[in-house]
Structure 1
Amino acid sequence: MTEPLRRPRRSSGRTTLADVARDAGVSPITVSRALRGERSVDPVLVQRVRAAADALGYVPDPAARALASQRSSQVLVLVPLLSNTLFVDLLEAVHRTLFPAGYRPLIGVTHYDAAEEELLLNTYLPHRPAGLLVTGFDRSETARQLIAHSGVPCVHLMETSRAEGVHCVGFSQVDAGAAITRHLLDRGRRRIAFCAAQLDPRTLQRGDGYRRCLREAGLYDPALELLSPERSSISLGARLFEDMLRRMPDIDAIFFCNDDIAQGGLLAANRLQVAVPQRIAVAGFNDLAGSDQMVPPLTTVRTPRGEVGRAGAAMLLGLMEGEPVQSSCVTLGYELVVRGST
């Protein structure tokens, strides 16, 4: 049987969306919608389109798609680190929200570096992504202007602001830092140290909450703070615990700014035979994996990073689709998780 004649493809030899449409017997717009995963397309047509695309070896051209529709399917997501499971949880929720709606997250890692964030914005904003998700509000004036003048809908994650025109989803880091400190006071602790790493804006806000709470109680002592610019890690937490105990042997509690350094502190306490919580209470922040398995289990603040990712992506979807957003600032709160270490 003689094969039907097909129109010649573009000079590059690349299979086009029109080729797939012709083989599947549908319109090019139906092919586009089917391959984007839009739920409005009949599943039978989706199967036919995908079979034709596979047979022809079709690879979508994102640039051509954006040019043809005057709309990109990419959403730029900027996070500080991928080594911190907090941001991995956030990204997972963002992906699960955006992908079924036909949008593809494009991840940029800033490493808490303002110049690196500027470079990422200068690299990707000219491609006109459909939307932008950024972490917090601490960035250079250049980066702020790039975002403001891009015309790209933007939602800020992990922190909140009531500033006009700002869209954000998060919780008060200051209030959460005060809450865990207040818990230690309620447990009868009076010499409460604060050990912090990385010193990013959200860590410093937790420190602000710690100071506010102790000042209100008339117990604040700046000598009880140990701040390290090093990246947060279990090994650093062990060192901070030992350093603080050596400098201030009369402390009766330590609030660590993140669970990984708190876990390191607990391991150091066990190695040094320092009784927790009898001699020193230990508290962390973020309720990372393994904190409930420490000896003793770690008291911490559970932060809603998955829900922040989901709600932030949902807010951005509304902005990208031109739908009204009920509230430009969504505060999700936090949960104090009391375990055996306090």
Structure 2
Amino acid sequence: MHKSRKPRRARSKLSDVPQRAGVSAVTVSHALRRPEMVSPLLRERIESAIKDLTSIPNRAASILASSRSNVIGVVVSSLTNGVFADYLRVLHDMFQPAGFQVMVLNSGYSPIEEEKAIVTLLGQHPEALILTDVDQTPYARELLEHAGIPIIQTMGLTDTPIDINIGISQHDAGALATRHLIELGHRRIGILAAWFDSRTRNRVAGYVDAMKEAGLFSEALMEWSPLPSTVGQGGERLAALLERCDDLEALFCTNDDLALGVLFECARRGIDIPDALSVVGFNDLEFAASAYPALTTIAVPRREMARMSAEIVLEIIRGSGARPKTARIDLGFKLSLRDSTRSSAAEPLARKRPARSLKATH
């Protein structure tokens, strides 16, 4: 570790105003040069964006001006997803004995809500902030870059970390799950996804790239929900996919909740897993090994991410002050092979079942 690297600083630019205000560059130009052409409401939004973007360093400084507390701020995407429950448990167990309180806010998978949470937490004068996403809004990023405290972005990887980034390549993990099914001999491989946050988008991109490399890609095999992932969504999305792809051979679910819903729906329909349908999940939640059949899934080192994040923060603020030698730490992932996947040639009779059997309900 070394002490020299500091969080990056970046100046706000007027070219960022359109995105911040949610208008076009032409509208901003008119508001500045010919304000009579722009409605009062839009002018107010543009003026507010300019004020925010040109005062971010001062605002960040004022938010943190008073003495800091022993608070570690954490923003998670969900308070009900088991991924984040495990993650928060480790953070609490690391920080509490060291005399810190962990303050947790929920973004609900929304970048705007995450931005609000970051502003709120900075107002509490935290010692550090830990985030479970790497895709912040421009405004949130500016605030964080000028916060002057350790900022840890986790779960995914980014080429432009604000300070320190600890995670995995969600793209490569999605590709690995898909290639596993391809290597088993499956050709009609579908994907179920829910709530397109940055992690899900990258997992889906990995699936698409792997399928295209194998010459197997078809948009008809993709099914997604705009709602947050749940077990119920897994069953509903499988039913929708089978309506148009009744020759489905295998399925990659972008998280284990969806995969568990698929297992339940297949049990209701009398679809044998893995003989008639191979299923891969993502995250390796606690129930994955106990499901029936036991779920093949991508194991993500979320506890290690939390542990390393806490160790780095404690070293910076209570230890030597040293930061990691690299701003981007890739912890990797693995495929946990269990009983929900099988070679397409493992049960020849099962593969000869009429395709419509996948749609049969009981």
TM-score with structure 1 length normalisation? Answer: 0.77
- Cα drift, residue 80 of structure 1: 0.9
Which residues in structure 2 correspond to 1:1-16 (within 5 Å)? none
1:270 corresponds, among 267, 270, 274, to 267
Q: Which moved more, 1:177-186 or 1:112-121?
A: 112-121
- Cα drift, residue 164 of structure 1: 6.4
Tell me the distance in 2 between the aligned counterparts of 1:115 and 1:244. 31
> Does 2:319 correspond to 1:325?
no
Where does residue 222 of structure 1 map in the other structure?
A: 219
CA RMSD across the alignment: 1.8
State whether residues 145 and 162 of structure 2, in contact with CA within 8 Å, keep that contact through their aligned partners in structure 1: no
1:233-286 deviation digits (Å, cap 9, x = unpaired): 111111111111121011100101111111110111111111211111111111
1:290 match: secondary structure: helix
The gaps in structure 2 that reach 5 residues or longer are 1-63, 342-362
Where does residue 193 of structure 2 map in the other structure?
A: 196
Tell me the distance in 2 between the aligned counterparts of 1:74 and 1:111. 22
1:262 match: secondary structure: helix
> Does 2:229 correspond to 1:232?
yes
Alpha-carbon distance change, 233 to 222 in structure 1, aligned in 2, over 3 angstroms: same
Alpha-carbon distance change, 160 to 320 in structure 1, aligned in 2, over 3 angstroms: farther
Tell me the distance in 2 between the aligned counterparts of 1:261 and 1:165. 32
Tell me the distance in 1 between the aligned counterparts of 2:237 and 2:187. 19
Tell me the distance in 2 between the aligned counterparts of 1:132 and 1:308. 14
Tell me the distance in 2 between the aligned counterparts of 1:104 and 1:164. 25
> Match for 1:250: what amino acid?
D
Tell me the distance in 1 between the aligned counterparts of 2:296 and 2:289. 8
State whether residues 319 and 325 of structure 1, in contact with CA within 8 Å, keep that contact through their aligned partners in structure 2: no
Tell me the distance in 2 between the aligned counterparts of 1:185 and 1:245. 19
Where does residue 79 of structure 1 map in the other structure?
A: 76
Which residues in structure 2 correspond to 1:97-176 (within 5 Å)? 97-163=94-160, 166-176=163-173
Alpha-carbon distance change, 164 to 310 in structure 1, aligned in 2, over 3 angstroms: closer
Alpha-carbon distance change, 157 to 164 in structure 1, aligned in 2, over 3 angstroms: closer
1:113-158 deviation digits (Å, cap 9, x = unpaired): 2232222222231332111101222121111111112222201011
> Match for 2:261: what amino acid?
G
Where does residue 209 of structure 1 map in the other structure?
A: 206
Tell me the distance in 2 between the aligned counterparts of 1:278 and 1:95. 43
- Cα drift, residue 338 of structure 1: 1.0
Where does residue 177 of structure 1 map in the other structure?
A: 174
Alpha-carbon distance change, 320 to 151 in structure 1, aligned in 2, over 3 angstroms: same
Tell me the distance in 1 between the aligned counterparts of 2:98 and 2:330. 24
Structure of greater Rg: 1
Alpha-carbon distance change, 283 to 324 in structure 1, aligned in 2, over 3 angstroms: closer
1:278-299 deviation digits (Å, cap 9, x = unpaired): 1111111111122222221111
1:149-206 deviation digits (Å, cap 9, x = unpaired): 2222201011123436631111111111011111101111011001111221101111
1:127 match: secondary structure: coil
State whether residues 316 and 322 of structure 2, in contact with CA within 8 Å, keep that contact through their aligned partners in structure 1: yes
1:156 match: secondary structure: strand
1:31-69 deviation digits (Å, cap 9, x = unpaired): xxxxxxxxxxxxxxxxxxxxxxxxxxxxxxxxxxx999x
> Does 2:339 correspond to 1:340?
yes
> Match for 2:273: what amino acid?
V
Tell me the distance in 2 between the aligned counterparts of 1:173 and 1:279. 28
Q: Which moved more, 1:129-138 or 1:108-117?
A: 108-117
Tell me the distance in 2 between the aligned counterparts of 1:280 and 1:325. 44
2:123 match: secondary structure: helix
1:284 match: secondary structure: strand
State whether residues 74 and 103 of structure 2, in contact with CA within 8 Å, keep that contact through their aligned partners in structure 1: yes
1:311-336 deviation digits (Å, cap 9, x = unpaired): 11212223334224233221111120
Percent identity for Structure 1 against Structure 2: 36
2:244 corresponds, among 243, 247, 250, to 247
Tell me the distance in 2 between the aligned counterparts of 1:204 and 1:162. 16
The gaps in structure 1 that reach 5 residues or longer are 1-65
Corresponding residue pairs, total:
276
State whether residues 128 and 152 of structure 1, in contact with CA within 8 Å, keep that contact through their aligned partners in structure 2: no
TM-score with structure 2 length normalisation? Answer: 0.73
1:207 match: secondary structure: helix
> Match for 1:90: what amino acid?
Y
Tell me the distance in 1 between the aligned counterparts of 2:170 and 2:268. 32
Tell me the distance in 1 between the aligned counterparts of 2:273 and 2:287. 17
